[in-house]
Amino acid sequence: MKTEKKPAQSLLQAELHQEIRELSIEKHYSVPELAKLWQLSEKTIRRMFEKEPGVIVWGVAESRFRRRYRTLRIPATVVLRVHRQLRAAG
């Protein structure tokens, strides 16, 4: 009896789905939570993380008469990555 091997693409898709599942249940920090943990201002935390890959950003764009509202959720893996980068730079 022959055992069929899964095509490489199927394996990649399965790994991707597993990674997405793991990321979705991972702890995500809000800006105020992280600011309190790191004893920094919320403004500093926003500047540090708003362009980091993996950070979830949603909200309303700024217009002529309305202020921009954006919410960030920062996964624990991103927090660890940035922390390591900051330690290595210092």
- What pLDDT is recorded for position 49? 96
**pLDDT one digit per residue (tens) for the chain, 90 residues:** 555 555 667 777 777 777 767 767 899 999 999 999 999 999 999 999 999 999 999 887 777 887 778 899 999 999 999 999 999 886
| 47 vs 35: CA distance, rounded Å | 12
SS3 76: helix
| 11 vs 52: CA distance, rounded Å | 28
Six token digits for residue 30 = 């809000």
53: left (phi over 0), alpha (psi -120 to 50) or beta: beta
- What pLDDT is recorded for position 90? 67
Rounded to two decimals, the pTM is 0.69
The closest of 68, 84, 67 to 76, measured between CA atoms, is 84
